[in-house]
């Protein structure tokens, strides 16, 4: 009964490939000991029972053997009894004579002893099973709970890079395998004991036959060796094929709406059938391998018997060999050989249990980079000033996504954050201010407390974060909104929903506030999900609020409703809004402009417009166009697009994690030089294009220029170009020059 099998929900769990352990078996066992030492009495009991049980198992054939020999009790050897029987021509009266009192007594005693011993064996092995079941289930729970707790508090970097399915597999499948391994340990102990006991009894009964039985060992070892060699390969293949089928089916189910809308069910079914068939073919190979195992063992057992009986005939030992002894030898050699086979078949499983343990220990031993200091205090409640002091941060060594960012937000101030994708907006507020990661240089403080000296829990209670990707938990809408404010009442929920205009749509749901959220809210639209997350955060009533594109998924109408409510909602809170909506930005007290990880501009809308810097650019090219103005940029002018840098970094990260794991788990965080080079190469492959788009003129800038050209005389344009040349040190593209002049001409009349 393999617990924990079939734990994985996603395809990832099944695709697991061969895994190389980082720790020696000894280290793993000593680690295991730390868990099982609590149950030292139980284990002691189980071992004692195992010893008793193997003794009983061995004693049983002895008793039957004695029973057969018991025919000797009447001082006539059993064989001469036969002789007599035959000579007397089945003389019944003689036989009756033979059955003297003592024979029957012995017989009855033997049968009773046999019965009692078997019954005792049954009882104690059942007890042992109970003790094991109790211990195993408790320990599994403990390991799981510890592991889960550890993972919950582990580094964001780790959690973000691993797929949630993989982490879950650590918690369910690996611990399950561990439990199986534990069970196996006790089983191994008892099998070993059985082997030893059988062998000892065998040697006592007849050392010659005992030695002959040893002769069967090489063939068992060869068979077991060959079996595990091929089994490992085939099992891996089967698993991989299973993983692929699972992945395909998962995709088919998740993408069912797409398949339906393009009428492609048939093709998907065909593809699955193909993979499914492949899986079958590998499974068949496995069947082919396993078909010989048990038949061979049976054949081997009888082979040994034939050899034994021939040999005993040959050396004419049978005179010393009573019929009972032959029976004993037979049974003992079986109970000696059979556990051998069982043991050899257990090793692959044991190996995978040790592997699982290795992975589990990896997690236990990892030291979180972000942790409370020893004398961590609660966050004070008087001062909500947020200071960023020369903050620099890199997810990857030396690849800074933020450099030297300094500014401070006054209590109750609303700060809008703008900048291009990859400017570091999300990192600064969603990751650093919340202390999901620690800054590399500089510091962030609230009031006069560095956030690193504050208890994480008190910090996070003070900060409310609405993430870009709305995430909901399984449960009702009501429970979801209550998530961050356990003490709030349902009334509070209704109230807050009304205030952000969410109540209308929630009430429109089939079960209203009691509507169940399935699978992260797949039945809800992204907008519906997002507005619930906004309600959730507002109900938690944080002092400091971070809204990371919190309304980007709302439809125009809802967004306008939320917009209308926001002033009131932000009142009294220090608020950071990462936004792309013009109206939000214009409402802000101050605007922070980030560009490539640096704080470039800071001030309110009017101030920044006057500066004619990055913000003014952004405003003129983008924010303005959220309205109805015509867009002048042609598709071909949009420049070359690349893979998203953020995502690429993350991928590299994940890649490194995987590599690190192979070389000794999470301890080995630094990649080798060779890996670094390789990663660098991968990066270099992308970077020239990136540079191209960041250097020179971006489409936004071009658009901005075009926009400005409408209001300028041709002479002004020429002057501007000169100024540009001075600034950038590069010639102005001739085509653009012409274009701008044309625009200027065209708008001449309007001026």
Partner 1 sequence: MAVQTVTNDNGMNYNDNIQQEILKKYKTETRWFWSALLRYPIRYLIATILMAGSAFTSAKTVALVGNVVGILSYNVSENLTIFSSDFITTIIWMIVYIAIGFVGSSGSIYIWADTSFRFQRDIRQEFYEVIQQHSMAFFDVNDSGVVLSMGMNEVNQIRLAMHPSFRHLLNSFFTIVITTYLVIEYDWIIGTVLAAAFVVYFIIAWFYAERVGPIRKKLATDLGNLSAVSQEMFKGVDTVRSFDNHEKEITKFNHVSEEYATDMKREGYLSSFYWPALITIIITAAAFAYGLYNVIQGNYGLLGAGVLISILGLLLNLNRQNFMIPAHLINLQAGLQNAKRLWNVMDFNDPLVQPKTPQDADWDKTVGFDNVSFAYPGTEKLVLKNVSFSIPPGARVALIGGPGSGKSTILKLILRLYDPTEGTINVGGVSIESMHTNYVRSNVTMVEQDIFLFSDTLKANITFSKPDATSEEIRKAAERAQIATFIDSLPEGYDTVIGERGVTLSGGQRQRVAIARAMLSNPRILLLDDSTSAVDIKTELRLRYAMDELMRDRTSIVVTQRLTTLVAADIIIFMKRGSIIGIGKHKELLKTSPDYQFMCKHLPMTENERQNNDTSMGGNA
Stretch that binds partner 1, among 6-14, 392-400, 568-576, 594-602 (CB under 8 A): 6-14
Residues 392, 441, 461, 476: which binds partner 1 (CB under 8 A)? 461
Question: Residue 35, interface with partner 1 (CB under 8 A)?
Answer: no
Cβ nearer to partner 1, comparing 65 with 660: 65
Q: How far apart are the C-alpha atoms of 414 and 329, rounded to whole Å?
A: 90
Residues 222, 371, 373, 508: which binds partner 1 (CB under 8 A)? 508
Q: Measuring CA to CA, how many Å separate 620 from each of 387, 560, 640, 700, 718?
A: 30, 22, 22, 9, 21
Q: Are strands 574-578 and 598-603 parallel, antiparallel or unpaired?
A: unpaired
Cβ nearer to partner 1, comparing 22 with 704: 704
Mask of contacts with partner 1, 346-385, x by CB under 8 A?
A: ----------------------------------------
Radius of gyration of the chain, Cα coordinates, nearest whole angstrom = 39
Residues 27, 189, 350, 509: which binds partner 1 (CB under 8 A)? 509
Residues 232, 271, 447, 668: which binds partner 1 (CB under 8 A)? 271
Q: How far apart are the C-alpha atoms of 357 and 124, rounded to whole Å?
A: 30
**Nearest 5°: phi and psi at 402?**
-140, 135
Cβ nearer to partner 1, comparing 472 with 743: 472
**Helix, strand or coil, per DSSP, at residue 730:** coil
Mask of contacts with partner 1, 462-491, x by CB under 8 A?
A: -xxx-x---xxxx--------xx-x-----
Question: Residue 621, interface with partner 1 (CB under 8 A)?
Answer: yes
Tokens encoding 389 = 């002091």
**Helix, strand or coil, per DSSP, at residue 600:** strand
Q: How far apart are the C-alpha atoms of 53 and 57, rounded to whole Å?
A: 6
Residues 75, 261, 487, 606: which binds partner 1 (CB under 8 A)? 261
Shortest CA distance to 468 belongs to which of 588, 618, 577, 584? 577
Stretch that binds partner 1, among 344-352, 398-406, 452-460, 658-666 (CB under 8 A): 452-460
Question: Residue 267, interface with partner 1 (CB under 8 A)?
Answer: yes
Question: Residue 555, interface with partner 1 (CB under 8 A)?
Answer: yes
Tokens encoding 681 = 């190469």
Given a contact cutoff of 8 angstroms between Cβ atoms, the answer to whether 260 and 229 are in contact is no
The nearest distance, CB 303 to partner 1, in angstroms, is 7
Question: Residue 262, interface with partner 1 (CB under 8 A)?
Answer: yes
Shortest CA distance to 391 belongs to which of 429, 419, 447, 417? 429
CB atoms within 10 A of CB 643: 11
Residues 506, 599, 608, 709: which binds partner 1 (CB under 8 A)? 506
Q: Which of residues 639-698 bind partner 1 (CB under 8 A)?
A: 639-644, 647-648, 651, 685, 689
Residues 232, 264, 600, 655: which binds partner 1 (CB under 8 A)? 264
Shortest CA distance to 483 belongs to which of 495, 493, 470? 493
Q: How far apart are the C-alpha atoms of 493 and 465, rounded to whole Å?
A: 18
Question: Which run of H or E residues covers position 471?
Answer: none
Residues 187, 228, 276, 385: which binds partner 1 (CB under 8 A)? 276
Q: Which of residues 137-176 bind partner 1 (CB under 8 A)?
A: 137-138, 140-141, 144-145, 148-149, 151-153, 156, 159-160, 162-165, 167-168, 171-172
Cβ nearer to partner 1, comparing 27 with 342: 342
The nearest distance, CB 729 to partner 1, in angstroms, is 25
Question: Residue 218, interface with partner 1 (CB under 8 A)?
Answer: no
The nearest distance, CB 719 to partner 1, in angstroms, is 27
Stretch that binds partner 1, among 26-34, 62-70, 344-352, 661-669 (CB under 8 A): 62-70
Cβ nearer to partner 1, comparing 384 with 703: 703
Given a contact cutoff of 8 angstroms between Cβ atoms, the answer to whether 239 and 16 are in contact is yes
Stretch that binds partner 1, among 28-36, 371-379, 401-409, 546-554 (CB under 8 A): 546-554
CA angle, 560 as apex, 558 and 564 as ends, to 5°? 115
Distance of CA 135 to the CA centre of its chain: 26
**Secondary structure string (H, E, C) spanning 67-119:** HHHHHHHHCCCHHHHHHHHHHCCCCHHHHHHHCCHHHHHHHHHHHHHHHHHHH
Q: Which of residues 559-618 bind partner 1 (CB under 8 A)?
A: 559-561, 563-564, 580-583
Question: Residue 526, interface with partner 1 (CB under 8 A)?
Answer: yes
Given a contact cutoff of 8 angstroms between Cβ atoms, the answer to whether 472 and 532 are in contact is yes
């Amino acid at each position: 009964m393999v617990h924990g099998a079939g734990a994985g929900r996603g395809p990832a769990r099944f695709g697991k490939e061969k895994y190389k352990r980082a720790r020696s078996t000894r280290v793993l066992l000593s680690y295991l000991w730390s868990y099982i030492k609590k149950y030292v009495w139980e284990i002691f009991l189980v071992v004692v029972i195992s010893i008793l049980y193997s003794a009983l198992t061995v004693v049983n054939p002895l008793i039957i053997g004695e029973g057969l020999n018991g025919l000797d009790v009447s001082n006539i050897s059993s064989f001469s009894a036969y002789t007599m029987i035959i000579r007397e021509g089945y003389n019944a009266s003689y036989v009756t004579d033979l059955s003297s009192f003592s024979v029957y007594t012995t017989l009855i005693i033997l049968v009773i002893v046999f019965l009692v011993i078997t019954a005792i064996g049954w009882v104690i092995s059942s007890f042992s099973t109970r003790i094991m079941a109790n211990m195993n289930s408790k320990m599994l729970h403990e390991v799981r709970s510890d592991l889960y707790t550890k993972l919950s508090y582990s580094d964001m970097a780790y959690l973000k890079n691993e797929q949630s399915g993989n982490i879950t597999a650590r918690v369910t499948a690996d611990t399950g395998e561990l439990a199986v391994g534990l069970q196996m340990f006790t089983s191994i102990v008892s099998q070993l004991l059985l082997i030893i006991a059988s062998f000892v009894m065998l040697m006592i009964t007849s050392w010659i036959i005992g030695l002959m039985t040893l002769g069967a060992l090489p063939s068992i070892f060869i068979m077991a060796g060959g079996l595990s060699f091929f089994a490992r390969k085939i099992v891996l293949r089967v698993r991989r094929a299973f993983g692929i089928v699972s992945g395909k089916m998962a995709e088919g189910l998740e993408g069912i709406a797409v398949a339906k809308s393009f009428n492609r069910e048939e093709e998907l079914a065909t593809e699955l059938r193909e993979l499914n068939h492949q899986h079958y073919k590998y499974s068949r190979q496995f069947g082919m391998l396993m078909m010989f195992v048990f038949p061979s063992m049976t054949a081997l057992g009888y082979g040994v018997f034939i050899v034994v009986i021939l040999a005993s005939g040959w050396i004419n030992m049978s005179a010393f060999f009573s019929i009972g002894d032959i029976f004993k030898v037979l049974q003992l050699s079986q109970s000696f050989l059979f556990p051998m086979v069982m043991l050899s078949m257990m090793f692959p499983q044991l190996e995978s249990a040790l592997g699982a343990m290795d992975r589990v220990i990896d997690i236990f031993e990892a030291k979180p980079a972000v942790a409370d200091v020893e004398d961590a205090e609660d966050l004070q409640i008087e001062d909500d000033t947020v200071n960023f002091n020369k903050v620099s941060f890199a997810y990857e060594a030396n690849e800074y996504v933020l450099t030297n960012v300094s500014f401070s937000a006054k209590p109750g101030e609303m700060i809008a954050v703008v900048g291009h994708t990859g400017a570091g907006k999300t990192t600064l507020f969603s990751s650093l201010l919340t202390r999901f990661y620690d800054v590399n240089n500089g510091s962030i403080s609230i009031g006069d407390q560095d956030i690193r000296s504050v208890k994480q829990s008190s910090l996070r209670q003070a900060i409310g974060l609405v993430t870009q990707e709305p995430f909901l938990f399984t449960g009702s809408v009501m429970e979801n909104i209550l998530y961050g404010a356990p003490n709030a009442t349902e009334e509070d929920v209704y109230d807050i929903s009304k205030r952000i205009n969410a109540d209308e749509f929630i009430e429109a749901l089939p079960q209203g506030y009691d509507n169940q959220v399935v699978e992260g809210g797949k039945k809800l639209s992204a907008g519906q999900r997002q507005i619930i997350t906004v309600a959730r955060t507002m109900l938690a009533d944080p002092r400091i609020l971070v809204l990371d594109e919190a309304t980007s998924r709302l439809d125009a109408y809802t967004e306008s409703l939320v917009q209308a409510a926001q002033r009131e909602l932000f009142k009294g809170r220090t608020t950071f809004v990462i936004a792309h909506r013009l109206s939000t930005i214009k409402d802000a007290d101050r605007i922070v402009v980030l560009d490539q990880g640096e704080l470039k501009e800071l001030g309110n809308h009017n101030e920044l417009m006057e500066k004619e810097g990055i913000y003014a650019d952004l405003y003129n090219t983008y924010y303005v166009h959220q309205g109805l103005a015509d867009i002048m940029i042609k598709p071909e002018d949009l420049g070359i697009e690349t893979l998203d840098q953020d995502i690429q970094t993350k991928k590299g990260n994940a890649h490194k994690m995987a590599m690190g794991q192979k070389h000794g788990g999470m301890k080995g965080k630094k990649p080798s030089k060779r890996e670094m080079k390789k990663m660098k190469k991968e990066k270099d492959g992308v970077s020239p294009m990136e540079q191209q788009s960041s250097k020179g003129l971006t489409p936004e800038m071009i658009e901005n220029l075009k926009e400005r050209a409408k209001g300028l005389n041709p002479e002004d344009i020429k002057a501007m170009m000169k100024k540009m040349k001075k600034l950038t040190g590069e010639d102005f593209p001739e085509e653009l020059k012409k274009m701008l002049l044309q625009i200027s001409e065209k708008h001449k009349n309007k001026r």
